[in-house]
Amino acid sequence: MPQKYIKILTFLGLIAIVAVQSLWLVNAYQLIDGKIRQACSRLFPKSVLDEVADRLNQVSDSEDAELTIHLEETANIEEASGPELISRLIVAFNHYADSVYQSAFSTSALDSIFTEALAGEGIYVQVHSQVLDSVRLVNTSSSLLSFKHIETQPVFLDEGKTTLVQARIVNPYWAICRQMGISLIATIVLIVLVVVCLLYQVKIILRQNKIARLRQDFTYAMIHNMKTPINTITMAGHTLESGVLDNKPELKRQYFSILNEESGHLLQLSERILTIAKLEQSNLKLTLAPVRIYPLLDELVCKYKVKAKKVVDFRIDCPEMLEVMADEEYLKEAVSNLIDNSLKYSDDEVQIRLSAYTENGYVVIKVWDNGWGISRQQQKHIFEKFQQGGLEEKKDKRIAGFGLGLNYVYKVITAMDGSVHVDSVEGKYSEFVLVLPVKA
């Protein structure tokens, strides 16, 4: 499936998951909100009655003991006699307390009683009560907050129903969220977990698609690029076998040279692939020893001066006695890869600078060229397998290769406890830097 459709399906799946979980949370929130409202409607009239009873208990004399209403005696009034009786008791006792004892209704006491009653059912909220007249004008000062709240049903305090009391639960969100605590946390964790797992699976799928595409490209490139040397070897072998060159020793020697060169090229490629595989499996055995750098660079320069099919200006800047701790054969192959790339990804005339020096206990080897350069985007992936760079400026030129050279360089140098860096400006230059320890 194309990556575009995978990303679209993933995005739609994430939206569906979040939508379903959000709907479930909203329903849970509404359910708990309804329970809190029901508890308020049930407990508030009882709390008003308890406030009136407390006032009578505080102001009544012993001779008025028959009017004293204890909290424990009124605990089951609602169940026994219903809301109508509670309403009548509130009106009667409030009138008695107000007219006989001049004891006014206390909203602060009601707040305390109502808050305690709600807490007894696990509802911990902030409560503000207020006394209103029949047109619902505030009759007592109360510092009420203006944001979202829950209001109880009003309870009348007099027979003419001109005065009533009402409570307001300020900001019930926290109480609802506390009751939803475990469910809310579990839902958030589940959503995060599902999203992370889904994104990880998509990442794996995209990576697998990329690997499959790279393998396909590699197979095609390998067959395409190996076809020419194999055909050359086959044709040269048939020609030599036919005996037509027996009387032409010079031409025969050239054919043998072609056979050796093409066979060496195929062998070198096979060994490079095998080396990368061994490095990835940690099976490659390196022989680290002091290696003199200048002779190594000089040998490679002489080799590529003969081999190059373009005008090349080589320059070496390296102390003759400078040594580094490395495996000489693999180090030579790594630097050879860099020089070969400099020749490939450049115009018909190219300058190549090879330099080496010591710095802070390390040997720094640089390979610089004034070729096509590498874009910033390509530099992020240039050391990965099957990746090739330096073609943005020269799309009309196809460069033969498998994209293994720089991956080989990176793996070999890091296996020697070193590091590899690249500095390049597209269309101007490229410089590869190898850093290796002086001593093991």
- Would the pTM count as exceeding 0.75? no
For the ranges 131-145, 218-232, 341-355, 398-412, the maximum mean pLDDT occurs at: 341-355
CB neighbour class for 23 (10 Å; exposed up to 12, middle 13-18, buried from 19): exposed
* Sole residue written with tokens 């890869």: 337
CB neighbour class for 70 (10 Å; exposed up to 12, middle 13-18, buried from 19): exposed
- Beta bridge partner(s), residue 5: none
- Say which residue, 267 or 142, is predicted with more confidence: 267
**Percent of residues, the chain, with pLDDT higher than 90:** 16
pLDDT higher than threshold 70 for residue 371: yes
Per-residue confidence (pLDDT) for residue 11, from 0 to 100: 75
- Say which residue, 41 or 387, is predicted with more confidence: 41
List, in order, residues 6 or more apart from 247 with CB less than 8 Å away: none
- Beta bridge partner(s), residue 291: 324
pLDDT higher than threshold 60 for residue 140: no
pLDDT higher than threshold 70 for residue 63: no
137/144 Cα distance (integer angstroms): 14
- Residue 349 corresponds to which amino acid? E
Own/partner contacts of 258-262, CB < 8 Å, gap of 24 or more, are 258/232, 259/233, 262/229, 262/230, 262/232, 262/233, 262/236
CA-based nearest residue to 296, from 263, 268, 273, 319: 319
CA-based nearest residue to 416, from 287, 291, 223, 262: 287
Per-residue confidence (pLDDT) for residue 214, from 0 to 100: 67
Per-residue confidence (pLDDT) for residue 292, from 0 to 100: 93
Per-residue confidence (pLDDT) for residue 194, from 0 to 100: 78
Q: What is the mean pLDDT of residues 361-372?
A: 93
| pLDDT tens per residue across span 142-193 | 444 434 678 888 888 888 788 888 888 877 777 777 767 677 677 778 778 8
DSSP single-letter state for residue 414: H
230/220 Cα distance (integer angstroms): 15
Query: β-strand 155-156 against 163-170: which pairing, if any?
Result: antiparallel
Mean pLDDT score of the chain: 78
List, in order, residues 6 or more apart from 252 with CB less than 8 Å away: 240, 245, 246
- Residue 106 corresponds to which amino acid? S
Domains and CATH numbers, the chain: 3-179 (no CATH), 210-280 (1.10.287), 289-437 (3.30.565.10)
373/394 Cα distance (integer angstroms): 10
pLDDT higher than threshold 70 for residue 396: no
Q: What is the mean pLDDT of residues 298-311?
A: 87
**Percent of residues, the chain, with pLDDT higher than 70:** 78
